[in-house]
Amino acid sequence: MKEIFNRRSIRSYENRPVEKEKIEKLLRAAMQAPSAANQQPWEFIVVENKDTLKKLSTMSPYSKAAEGSAVTFVLLANTENFIVETAWQQDMAAAAENLLLEATYLGLGAVWFGVATADTCVTYVKETFKLPENIKPFALISVGYPENQENQFVDRYSESKVHYEGFK
Ligand SMILES: Cc1cc2nc3c(=O)[nH]c(=O)nc-3n(C[C@H](O)[C@H](O)[C@H](O)COP(=O)(O)O)c2cc1C
């Protein structure tokens, strides 16, 4: 699957929208992810509004690229759907990676901005969207047509990280 190898974090986008059909395909890919006990804890806010994109871009010093994106997905987990509570971040990460790979497949560029990685970002997203207590922010994924950057292969295979039959 070439998308796994070619996917890169793309932080610069053309000034044009992503088609509704593609947005739906990205969401479908995310929701197709595996999850513990099939709990599917995810919820998604789809943001195309320029003011809201700008607001998200100031979530952290590392989320600036959200401002120029055509669409940013806010990945959230709903605690009411938890069956295996300890697995929610793993479920969400699987959904996030699916979305990134589908974006690559569709000729789009995307980047993952960590939210659950920092309490300040969690609070920022909660306040921005006035989220109820049961909704936990996980990540932002900004998407658009790539500009000045492309999805291209970088070889990260490292034989030294592979251990056969035991750790040595
Ligand atoms: C949990 C997580 C959090 C990340 N947070 C950010 C971020 O806040 N800002 C950003 O520009 N990239 C972020 N990234 C993207 C990484 O910087 C990127 O995946 C990494 O540098 C490898 O580059 P590549 O995606 O082009 O392969 C994040 C990725 C992950 C998995």
Whether 11 is covered by a domain: the verdict is: yes
pLDDT digits (tens, 9 = 90+) for 3-59: 999 999 999 999 999 999 999 999 999 999 999 999 999 999 999 999 999 999 999
* Closest-CA residue to 153 (of 2, 26, 18, 52): 2
| CATH code: domain of residue 113 | 3.40.109.10
Planar angle of CA 44, 140, 82, nearest 5 degrees: 50
* Closest-CA residue to 113 (of 37, 54, 157, 57): 57
| Total count of domains within the chain | 1
| Predicted local confidence at residue 1, as pLDDT | 86
User: How much distance in Å is there from the Cα of 62 to the middle of ligand 1?
Assistant: 9
Percent of the chain with pLDDT over 90: 98
Domain membership of residue 115 as a residue range:
2-154
Contacts of 43 (CB under 8 A, 6+ apart): 76, 77, 78, 135
User: How much distance in Å is there from the Cα of 97 to the middle of ligand 1?
Assistant: 11
Whether 163 is covered by a domain: the verdict is: no
Whether 160 is covered by a domain: the verdict is: no
User: Which phi and psi angles does 19 have, rounded to 5°?
Assistant: -60, 145
Whether 165 is covered by a domain: the verdict is: no
Whether 164 is covered by a domain: the verdict is: no
Testing ligand 1's pocket by substitution, the residue of 73, 111, 153 carrying the most ligand atoms inside 8 A of its CB is: 111
| Predicted local confidence at residue 67, as pLDDT | 98
Pairing of strands 109-114, 42-47: unpaired
